[in-house]
Structure 1
Amino acid sequence: MSSDTAIPENDVTSSGLLALVISTLRLKAPELLPAEIVMPDCALAHAPASIKRRLLTAAYEAKGAGFILDMGQRVKQIGFDPVMHVMLRSATPQVMAGKFQRFEQFTHSRHRCEMDADGEGGLAVRRFSVSGPPPVGVENLLIAGLLKAMLEEIGCREVAVETGCAPFDRFTLRWAAFMPAHAGSDPMGMEAQRAREPLKVYGVDEARPLARRVVRLLTADISRNWTCAEMARELGLSARTFQRRLKEEGTSLSAI
């Protein structure tokens, strides 16, 4: 994103999605990437959706729909993204679809996916907006390509996308077979990154010992709805001691 661009509350997208677009353009079409656009921090949840639309529209006009669909293939090269990490650890396509729909409530201000099984090897998707204008065609193509890539990563074979006509708000993904790939493993190399350098997630300073341990538990599976008691027990502390020590470090579980 532009280094001086504020993020509007009513028009945000996933930082991971914007990173996916930027990384693809850097590699395959650098002439379409304005100099003022910089890679977002994927450890932060949101980025301006307007920048994503601007880049996607330019890429679509210059390269076509296939180029946008193929952007999803770089999903593992965007760097640390806890949401993508959790979705790529899904045991089945149905589990992944459920996670995607839940996370979309937090990673995008307006746009949503409705997903339904279409036979044994298919997923019918409808894209819509909960408020304001509907997602534009290039945004729908990006999501279609991303879902295709994620299905392939978790073990779906010969995945095809049936997009229909613009604005591509209804599309179907089909696969020939499913063989679980790496559910429960580390598909995005998050554990390797943890070993190399401290993580900063949502502004939490991991130099604080207990906050650091909390962040690592949360990012291991952000789909888990931790309670204070569960987190304390996992860390070998009483709930009261856990809360007190976090307060001493200037934070809390809800803040993290």
Structure 2
Amino acid sequence: MSNITAADVKKLRDQTGAGMMDCKKALVEAEGDYEKAIEILRTKGQKLSVKRAEREAKEGVVIAAVSDDKKNGVVIKLSCETDFVAKNEGFVDFAKKIASIALENLPESKEELGNLTIGDISISEKVVEQVGVIGEKIELAGYEKLSSDMVVPYIHMGYRAGVIVGLNSDDSKVEEAGKDVAMQVAAMKPVALDKDNVEQSVIDKEIEIGKEQARQEGKPEQILEKIALGKLNKFFQENTLLNQNFVKDSKATVREYLQSVDKNLTVTDFKHLMLG
């Protein structure tokens, strides 16, 4: 059996983030073969990942980031089981690294992001590896991207939510307005940008709910549709970003607030991920 030195163990630990004893055991099992020891640790992670597949990973961190020119933005969610792990500096740094790779490459989907490499392995493989290191379920649970004239990020306290907002202007004076709107998204959780962006299935459901509510109130059948459409307009006001009351000034809608900053200013799109 090869002589396993403390330096060997430290080198493996620095590479993988695994515990010292886990690294030593892997090196012993691999008879000192460094690459084989890494594979043993990954295999441990894969087995643990399968074992914990049914566990809920409702904690974690959400990272929002934009490019230096502020033309592109991404938001990613890295989930784990416990708040203890979510607050670990190494876990947060890992999530930030994934966000950085996403921002550099702008993949089209979460699956494509998982296939990108971090070091010498894919992000998906690295996530599985970290399951073995940390000892609980970890998953890349969400990814969104956005491109616009200006993209503004916002991360809610404790990395519990992340938002990116696209604006139709690259004038630096509108950036603060973008931050205000990003905070609005995090607080009010709109389902769409404007009423024209709401999915038809959602509209149909709201109309049916409105009809049934009116029916339960004893309203005549012939006016149920009209009542439901009135309720639908209220739904649009409360749940579409540009029509919501602005949280910092309830006398204005978000659209009106933006126009007060610049008469042509508007939001082109937004992306929002949160824990839970």
Instruction: Output the TM-score relative to the length of structure 2.
Output: 0.23
Structure exhibiting the larger radius of gyration computed from Cα positions = 2
Instruction: Output the TM-score relative to the length of structure 1.
Output: 0.25
Question: Higher helix fraction: Structure 1 or Structure 2?
Answer: 2
Question: Higher strand fraction: Structure 1 or Structure 2?
Answer: 2
